[in-house]
Homo-oligomer: A and B are copies of this chain.
Amino acid sequence: MTETQRPIAVVLLSGGMDSCVCAALAARDYEPAFLHMDYGQLTAARERRSFEAIADYYRVKRRLVATSALFRQIGGSALTDSALAVPEGGVDASIIPVTYVPFRNTHLLAAAVSWGEVLERETGKPVVVMIGAVAVDGSGYPDCRPEYFAAFQHLLEVGTRDGKARVETPLLGLHKADIVRLGLELKAPFPLSWSCYQSSEEACGRCDSCRLRRRAFRQAGTEDPIPYANGRVEESSCLSPND
């Protein structure tokens, strides 16, 4: 397929390990356009750095950083409200954790679809929207479930100009360890990625996001290349009974 025929993939790239693998898939299969959202998360500046580094790595020119103050204004999530503690006790997939940012993925996907509509009209190329959401052993957020993405696909079909964009969730049915394996196979730049919910220098190793990430690398038989604080201490205790 020549470059002119390839569809454009608007990739939601937070800079974490899952979206990093999503970016690698997009770079392999499509003409990538990278979209990042700074919604006031505690590690926004660190995530932004990862976003730009991954975009540089793939030499992606079409990149967009959207900002939203809304989540800071309304509060209610430990990711955007520093008065709420980020849990460090282990992942319990049976509850919706306090790190849930209310309906966040709808904001992210809406931004991607809006941009995609404009890109489609400018270039005449079909557009896919890619999001690296994980349902199998993710964090238990309601807007990460397969039925949510099916509902969003229907929403864009009835609510946009031509309704033709397609939402792709290539990681949704994968275990985190398989996502690591896929990323290694695709040479995804994991050292440039960042997943920690609360720290920007060394990953804390204790929040849900760090726990899920480190376990995934270990299960894939390799070491996570990013720096962790207290690496040895957490090595033996990073799984909760529910992990």
A121: chain B residues at CB < 8 Å are: 76
- Chain B residue nearest in CB terms to A37: B70
State the Cβ distance, A67 to closest chain B Cβ, in Å. Answer: 6
- CA–CA, A121 and B147, complex, Å: 24
- Chain B residue nearest in CB terms to A146: B158
The reply to whether A113 and B118 contact each other, CB–CB distance below 8 Å, is: no
Name the prevailing secondary structure of the A interface residues.
helix
The reply to whether B160 and A103 contact each other, CB–CB distance below 8 Å, is: yes
A143: chain B residues at CB < 8 Å are: 159-160
- CA–CA, A64 and B72, complex, Å: 12
The reply to whether B110 and A74 contact each other, CB–CB distance below 8 Å, is: no
Our pick among B68, B71, B117 for the contact of A68 (Cβ within 8 Å) is B68
Chain A contact patch, size range: 35 or more
State the Cβ distance, A78 to closest chain B Cβ, in Å. Answer: 13
A155: chain B residues at CB < 8 Å are: 106, 148, 151-152, 155
State the Cβ distance, A174 to closest chain B Cβ, in Å. Answer: 21
- Further contacts, 12 of them, CB under 8 A, given A66-B73, A102-B117: A64-B74, A68-B68, A70-B111, A76-B121, A102-B113, A102-B160, A103-B110, A103-B117, A106-B114, A148-B159, A151-B151, A154-B154
Given A102-B160, A106-B159, A66:B67 Cβ within 8 A: no
